């Protein structure tokens, strides 16, 4: 059976990376959730990128039963990091225990290099320590910095729960991540005509390490490129991955949702 011919009711999908707290969704957030449900997307993880978005993400996850959150400082926001922000993130996570389920998105971004790489590394490593202290999984943002990111993780986070979100590394970097026990998150770029490398990764990831995501409002799949992304479109990500893996959408939905539930300890 062709993946695309499957009924919608077959697939319960988990968008493991969507920034639904941001003002891009302020005018139609309820409708965004309704469209997600109609597409079989029933669960959501809302990561953060600075202190303010951490507060918003945590609040949204407390208000909703179908959405959990992460708190953390993105490498592009590294300048705000310090003892006070660390203490604030820790308190947000403790106040919303069970709803804040991870630290993220944190990591290294050498594309924008908003902060010096040395500063980014300090902020990254200190947040790994916070995740260890709170015993929370980690969501990694990495752009053009895979080798440095993996060098750090192999020392600091081997065999602990972690996803490399919107993975854009090569097969060798993927293997390094798998050898540490990490998960690989695949998003909209897998649908882009020039993304053969991402499709090769999507084909090669073991079924028990793959999770799917949109990174809404960013990284819209090819069909909606240039427009705002939203969780309903994780179905298009799943369809493309099912196609390249020659699997049924229902199977892919089943194990990627199960992987996410286990990774973020959602019972």
Provide the minimum distance between the beta carbon of 255 and Zn ion in the complex, in angstroms, as a whole number. Answer: 23
Which of residues 109 and 215 has its CB atom nearest to Zn ion in the complex?
215
Q: Which of residues 208-247 bind Zn ion (CB under 5 A)?
A: 215
Task: Give me the least distance between CB of 23 and Zn ion, in Å please.
Answer: 15
Nearest residue to 3 via CA among 186, 259, 238, 176: 238
# chain residues binding Zn ion, by CB under 5 A = 1
In this complex, which beta carbon is closest to Zn ion, that of residue 74 or of residue 86?
Answer: 74
Q: H helices of the chain, where?
A: 29-38, 51-63, 83-95, 117-134, 146-156, 171-179, 196-204, 234-245, 249-263
Encoded one letter per residue, x for contact with Zn ion by CB under 5 A and - for no contact, window 161-200 reads ----------------------------------------
Residue 109 or 243: which CB sits closer to Zn ion? 109
- Tell me whether residue 15 or residue 215 sits nearer to Zn ion (CB atom): 215
Task: State how far the alpha carbon of 182 is from the alpha carbons of 6, 102, 134, in Å.
Answer: 30, 14, 18
**What does the per-residue mask of binding to Zn ion show for 78-117, with x meaning CB under 5 A?**
----------------------------------------
Give the nearest distance from C-beta 177 to Zn ion in angstroms: 18
Question: Cβ closer to Zn ion: 158 or 227?
Answer: 227
Whole-angstrom distance, CA of residue 121 vs CA of residue 65: 34
Cβ at position 17, least distance to Zn ion in Å: 6
- Asked if 102 and 70 touch (Cβ cutoff 8 Å), the reply is yes
CB of 47 to Zn ion, least distance (A): 5
> What's the chain's length in residues?
267
- Tell me the closest approach of the beta carbon of residue 232 to Zn ion, in angstroms: 17
Per DSSP, the residues of 47-85 read --SSHHHHHHHHHHHHH-SSEEEEE---GGGGGG-SHHH
* Residues between 44 and 73 that touch Zn ion (CB under 5 A): none
Closest by CA to 103, choosing from 84, 119, 127, is 127
* CA torsion, ordered 245, 264, 58, 184, to nearest 10 deg: -30
Contacts of 201 by beta carbon, 8 Å cutoff, 6+ apart: 167, 169, 170, 171, 174, 184, 186
d(CA 102, CA 93): 9
Distance, in Å, from the CA atom of 144 to the CA atom of 146, rounded to the nearest integer, reads 6
Chain residue whose CB lies nearest Zn ion? 215
Q: Which is nearer to Zn ion, 50 or 215 (CB)?
A: 215
In the complex, what is the shortest distance from the CB of residue 233 to Zn ion, in angstroms, rounded to a whole number? Answer: 15
Q: Which residue number, 21 or 215, has a Cβ lying nearer to Zn ion? A: 215
What residue ranges bind Zn ion (CB under 5 A)?
A: 215
């Amino acid at each position: 059976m062709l993946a695309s011919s499957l009924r919608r009711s077959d697939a319960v999908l988990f968008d493991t990376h969507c920034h639904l707290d941001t003002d891009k969704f302020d005018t139609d957030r309820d409708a965004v959730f309704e469209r997600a449900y109609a597409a079989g997307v029933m669960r959501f993880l809302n990561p953060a990128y600075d202190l303010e978005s951490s507060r918003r993400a945590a609040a949204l996850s407390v208000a909703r039963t179908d959405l959990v959150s992460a708190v953390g400082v993105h490498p592009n926001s590294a300048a705000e990091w310090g003892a006070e922000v660390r203490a604030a993130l820790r308190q947000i996570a403790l106040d919303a225990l069970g709803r804040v389920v991870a630290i993220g998105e944190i990591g290294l971004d050498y594309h924008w290099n908003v902060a010096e790489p040395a500063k980014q590394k300090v902020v990254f490593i200190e947040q790994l320590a916070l995740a260890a202290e709170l015993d929370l999984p980690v969501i990694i943002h990495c752009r053009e910095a895979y080798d440095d990111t993996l060098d750090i993780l192999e020392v600091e986070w081997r065999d602990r729960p972690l996803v490399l979100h919107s993975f854009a590394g090569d097969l060798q970097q993927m293997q390094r991540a798998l050898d540490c026990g990490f998960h690989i998150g695949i998003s909209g770029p897998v649908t882009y005509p020039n993304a053969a490398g991402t499709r090769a990764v999507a084909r090669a990831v073991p079924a028990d390490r793959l999770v799917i995501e949109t990174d809404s409002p960013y990284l819209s799949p090819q069909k909606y490129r240039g427009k705002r992304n939203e969780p309903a479109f994780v179905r298009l990500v799943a369809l493309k991955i099912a196609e390249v893996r020659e699997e049924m959408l229902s199977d892919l939905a089943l194990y990627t949702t199960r992987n996410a539930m286990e990774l973020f300890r959602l019972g």
